[in-house]
Chains A and B, each alone.
Chain A
Amino acid sequence: MTGAQLRELINRDVDGDLSPNEHRDLTAALRRNASARKLHAEIKALGTALSSVRQVEPPANLGNRIRADVRSRISTPPLRRTRLESLRALVQTPSVLRYGTFFAGGLVTGALLFMFLIHPQPAPNVSADVATGTLLTHSETFPFDLNGAKGTLTAISTETGKELTFRLTSGIATTTKLTYDPSRVKLENVREVQSAGGPVVVNAGVVEMTGTGSQKCTLVFSGVRDSRIAVQVAAAGGGTFNKEIQVH
């Protein structure tokens, strides 16, 4: 058995991957070879140390954050193909069924229109968990058009009011986000800077959008005084879009 084969057997033994014959061969080799025994013990101890690292509980609000974010994108797939397939299937059905289905669809549409006119629904930018009646998100979307860089800036707040997520979508459908936390702004592109006026530390962040030519944008946010955040979108092709957002 070569040294490489022995090392492989040792590693696979630690992973519980050896057949009985291989295990027997390894045991025999270890009995003869002191350095192999040492390596075996070390690899085994390493596996034990790694496996003993405790699992960490995720932040308590992570589930809500995810649900809010998913619901804010509810207009995007996964339903798209299903609906397309349903429509295709409908067109291929016999005419009596088809016309019957269209008639029923018309009735439902009429009823829905009636309901909307009589009972105004909540604003569409608010979503709620129907089961618990909990308000999940409140979002505002600001469209911009900066010398060819068209897109939207969306601010989404969670029910805790402790987070505000910005999503910037430019013309080539690149998306990014920043998360604002009143106690501490923290994301990979965020740094703390000293305000020019005095000792107050303000939080600021910069995110460069991946894009090409005039589609490229930069999202800058700063100023966390009086619960207001100044957000600026700057396009590589020139022009800026400014918005001040109140954090509740």
Chain B
Amino acid sequence: MTEHNDEDLVRQCRAGELKSFDLLVERHQRAIFNLALRMVRDSDDAADVSQSVFVKAYENLERFDPQYKFFSWLYRIAVNESLNALGQKKRFEGLDGNDLAVETPDEKDDEAVNEERRIQDGLMMLNVDQRAVIVLKHMQGLSYREIGQILDLPEKTIKSRLFSARQTFKDILKKKGVRRNDRSTAS
């Protein structure tokens, strides 16, 4: 079977082929879910964000500019939806005074999981702008240019934001005692 690229699928979807959108969902849901998860931390919230992302993408497909990559556009929606979710949560917590974040109960309490948890905790201590660049760069493996397109910022700004985010993150992790591979040397 021919593997269609995203642009083909978007074109088919605009022509009314809903199955093409299903393929886009199948192709990108994992990345979008993981992006949302790192932004909002809670798995259920991340699933809700992912659902909103694809629904918004579908509803606004006519506005998608094909000169950009489809996934960049999806990521942009995902970042915005994550920020909305965090904003709503904050408002509610402000009223209620309860932290609704839930730990996944079946997580194994091994060292790797603990380290990941500390990294996720550290991420949540960054401001959302810094968190977004760290997640997009290190966890989604995107280039400065792609991150710039997603956040609608010049590459220069992305670099300086990323570098200062790393510095802040490094300090946070130092305080939290995340084990690092300090044997790394200059390449």
Say if A and B assemble together.
Answer: yes
Complexed CA–CA distance, A13 and B18 (Å): 44
| Cα of A58 to Cα of B59 in the assembled complex, Å | 22
| B159 cross-chain contacts in A, Cβ below 8 A | 8, 11-12
Contact status A17-B182, CB under 8 Å: no
| Chain B, residue nearest A68 (CB) | B51
A73 to chain B, nearest CB (A): 7
Q: Is the CB of A51 closer than 8 A to any CB of chain B?
A: yes
- Binary A-proximity of B132-157 (CB < 8 A = 1, otherwise 0): 00100111010010000000000000
Q: Are B88 and A59 in contact (CB under 8 A)?
A: no
A46 & B169 in contact (Cβ 8 Å cutoff) = yes
Whether, in the assembled complex, B68 has its beta carbon less than 8 Å from a beta carbon of chain A, the answer is: no
Whether B180 and A62, one on each chain, are in contact in the complex, defined by CB atoms closer than 8 angstroms, is no
A43 and B170 contact, CB distance less than 8 A: yes
Best-surrounded residue of B26, B38, B88 (most CB of chain A within 10 A) = B88
A216 within 8 A of B: no
Contact B166 A40 (CB under 8 A): no
Taking a contact as CB atoms under 8 Å apart, the answer to whether B186 and A37 are in contact is yes
Our pick among A27, A40, A78 for the contact of B13 (Cβ within 8 Å) is: A78
Instruction: Give the interface residue-count category, chain A.
Output: 35 or more
**Cβ of B120 to closest chain A Cβ, rounded Å:** 8
Is A55 a contact partner of B43 (Cβ separation < 8 A)? no
In the complex the two chains form, what is the Cα distance from A27 to B186 in whole Å? Answer: 7
Residue with the highest number of chain B CB atoms closer than 10 Å, among A12, A50, A73, A82? A50
- Given A46-B170, A77-B59, residue A186 in contact with residue B102 (CB < 8 A): yes
The reply on A71 being an interface residue by CB < 8 A is yes
Contact A41 B29 (CB under 8 A): no
User: From residue 41 to 63 of chain B, which have CB atoms closer than 8 A to chain A?
Assistant: 43-48, 50-51, 54-55, 58-62
Q: Is the CB of A45 within 8 A of B180?
A: yes
Known interface pairs A49-B115, A67-B22, A82-B15; A59-B47 also in contact (CB < 8 Å): yes
The B interface, classified by DSSP as helix, strand, loop or mixed, is helix
A36-B7 Cα distance, complex, nearest whole Å? 44
A1 CB to closest chain B CB, in angstroms? 15
Cβ of A65 within 8 Å of any chain B Cβ, yes or no, is yes
Stretch of A107-115, A139-147, A187-195 with 4 or more beta carbons under 8 angstroms from chain B: A187-195
- In the bound assembly, the distance between CA atoms of A59 and B37 in angstroms comes to 12
Bound CA span A41–B170, Å: 11
CB A103 to nearest CB in B, in angstroms, measures 23
Complex-state Cα separation, A71 to B51, whole angstroms: 12
The answer to whether B187 touches A11 (Cβ under 8 A) is no
Partner of B139, one of A12, A45, A53, A79: A53
In the complex, the answer to whether A47 meets B138 with C-beta atoms within 8 Å is yes
A50 with B119: CB separation less than 8 A: yes
Complexed CA–CA distance, A15 and B44 (Å) = 32
Contacting pair A58 B139 (CB below 8 A): no
Contact flags B162-187 to A (C-beta < 8 A → 1, else 0): 11001001100100001011111111
Known: A46-B169, A70-B25. 10 other contacts (CB 8 A): A11-B166, A13-B187, A44-B184, A50-B134, A50-B138, A53-B119, A62-B47, A70-B21, A78-B59, A188-B48
- Can you list 20 contacts pairing A with B, beta carbon distance less than 8 Å? A26-B186, A41-B184, A43-B166, A45-B182, A49-B180, A50-B119, A51-B138, A58-B47, A62-B29, A69-B51, A69-B54, A73-B58, A74-B18, A77-B59, A77-B60, A79-B16, A81-B62, A82-B14, A188-B85, A191-B98
